Amino acid sequence: MSKILLGCIADDFTGATDLASNLVREGMRVVQTIGVPQGPLDGDADAVVVALKSRTIPASEAVQQSLEAARWLKAQGAQQYYFKYCSTFDSTPAGNIGPVTDALMAELNAGFTIACPAFPENGRVVFKGHLFVGDVLLQESGMRNHPLTPMTDSNLVRVLQAQTSRNVGLIDHTVVEQGSAAIKARIDALAAKGITIAVVDATTNEDLRKLGPALEQLSLVTAGSGVAIGLPKNFGLEPRNLASSLPPAEGRRAIVSGSCSVATNAQVADFKQRGGAAYPIDPFQLLENPSSVEKALRWAADADHSLPVLIYATADPDAVKAVQQKIGVAEAGELVEHALSSIARGLVQQGVGELIVAGGETSGACVKALDIMQMRIGPQIAPGVPWCYAQSPHAARGGLHITLKSGNFGATDFFTSAFTALEVAA
């Protein structure tokens, strides 16, 4: 096995896939691991993304897990490291972006690093240090009401400064637009003033590509997934099909949907409208009838094996609220996740070889139920959503193609077009 080039640590699961997908598009062969692996990497890759679930856990635990990931990546030969967080900079004054950045800088002997959540393709841009979400400032976006990480200040220099004892500065757009030499000079000037972390402005992919070469000498980069598009070139890599090639897909096709987002509701409706075979899961039925999961699996076994099947708990906000009021929010979530992940495992045991999972938490539960430890990242279906190939002890052929779609991603016809995208890639 050859050494890896870029070692990445992501603070949540679907965010890890998003980063991996951007690296694949730019020519890297990427493997995503679920947590820190126990042994060495299985197979060759240019980059590895270790997916943690460390965004909202206590800061000391996030630091511990991130350091463990960095040490494992170091053992795989990583030449540069990337700490990936959300493009809305999800954090609180207690962390976890600042404390994890501090700990990784110390571990990796990084004298200087950047912080840049910009992802212009998804409407996240940084201008004069202020983060915009679509057309509004972060503090005016829905993120201000986030239950765990409410973002009430758009000034990222201020937000990050509250989380670290290091001095935080800014590399603004007037420098970025001049290109990588100017950015490098600005890094040197800030470092000479004792500033060791700089928020960087970026409003377009072109800005991110100018930033890339300026980051070559940094041992650690901290960012959303956008900055990744400028890094593979530093290692002499160019976009190439080989990077996203996966083994040929085989087996039945299925969709398991536990997301109740606006986008997923539309995707379920679209699949049904096209005449797709669909089976609803009712949370009240799950409570009352312990054999609901077996019933759903029997339905799938009896369905036409040449066509995809959809099993969904996806419901509109009123229906979800009714369930939550009766059972409790966390309890309802767990009940449905447990049922859907058992169904995903049962479907794979039945011979499903191409599986779409909709929902971030639902994806985490399904990957766990399938005992998937790592995934090779393949072609992109929609921004942030690639097909992946994973080994699972539950798969008849040992492995399966799987895509994990977080709530609001994907076009309305995603449940149809995703399978077509895999055929085209073959």
Nearer to ligand ADP, 311 or 390 (CB): 311
Nearer to ligand ADP, 176 or 260 (CB): 260
DSSP letters, 377-421, are EEEEEETTEEEEEEE-TTSTTSEEEEEEE-TT-S-TTHHHHHHHH
**Applying CB under 6 A, which residues contact ligand ADP?**
258-261, 264, 283, 313, 315, 319-320, 323-324, 332-333, 336-337, 359-362, 406-407
Exposed (0-12), middle (13-18) or buried (19+): which is 207, by Cβ within 10 Å?
Answer: buried
Least spacing, CB of residue 234 vs ligand ADP, in Å: 33
Q: Which segments of 202-319 are extended strands (E)?
A: 220-223, 252-257, 277-280, 309-312
Least spacing, CB of residue 260 vs ligand ADP, in Å: 5
Least spacing, CB of residue 280 vs ligand ADP, in Å: 9
Q: Which segments of 283-351 are extended strands (E)?
A: 309-312
Nearer to ligand ADP, 154 or 406 (CB): 406
Nearer to ligand ADP, 82 or 271 (CB): 271
3-state secondary structure of 236: coil
Least spacing, CB of residue 103 vs ligand ADP, in Å: 28
Q: Which residue has the tokens 């449905």?
A: 336
Nearer to ligand ADP, 126 or 323 (CB): 323
Least spacing, CB of residue 364 vs ligand ADP, in Å: 8
Dist CA 359 CA 192 (whole Å): 46
Q: Is 136 left (phi over 0), alpha (psi -120 to 50) or beta?
A: beta
Least spacing, CB of residue 41 vs ligand ADP, in Å: 28
Which residues lie below 8 Å from residue 15, measured CB to CB, with a gap of 6+? Answer: 51, 84, 85, 86, 225
Nearer to ligand ADP, 129 or 359 (CB): 359
Residue length of the chain: 426
Nearer to ligand ADP, 90 or 361 (CB): 361
Least spacing, CB of residue 415 vs ligand ADP, in Å: 14
Nearer to ligand ADP, 133 or 227 (CB): 133
Least spacing, CB of residue 43 vs ligand ADP, in Å: 29
Q: Which residue has the tokens 């890339």?
A: 212
Least spacing, CB of residue 351 vs ligand ADP, in Å: 25
Mark 329-348 as b/e (b = at least 16 C-beta within 10 Å). eeebbebbbebbbbbbbbbb
Nearer to ligand ADP, 153 or 361 (CB): 361
The neighbour count for residue 401, using CB atoms within 10 Å, is: 27
Nearer to ligand ADP, 122 or 362 (CB): 362
Start-to-end CA span in the chain (Å): 26
Six-digit token string for 420: 């077509």
Q: Which segments of 242-323 are extended strands (E)?
A: 252-257, 277-280, 309-312
Least spacing, CB of residue 410 vs ligand ADP, in Å: 11
DSSP letters, 38-53, are SSS-SS--SEEEEE--
DSSP single-letter state for residue 140: G
Least spacing, CB of residue 384 vs ligand ADP, in Å: 12
DSSP single-letter state for residue 233: G
Dist CA 325 CA 51 (whole Å): 33
Nearer to ligand ADP, 17 or 259 (CB): 259
Q: Which residue has the tokens 């170091």?
A: 74
Dist CA 383 CA 288 (whole Å): 39
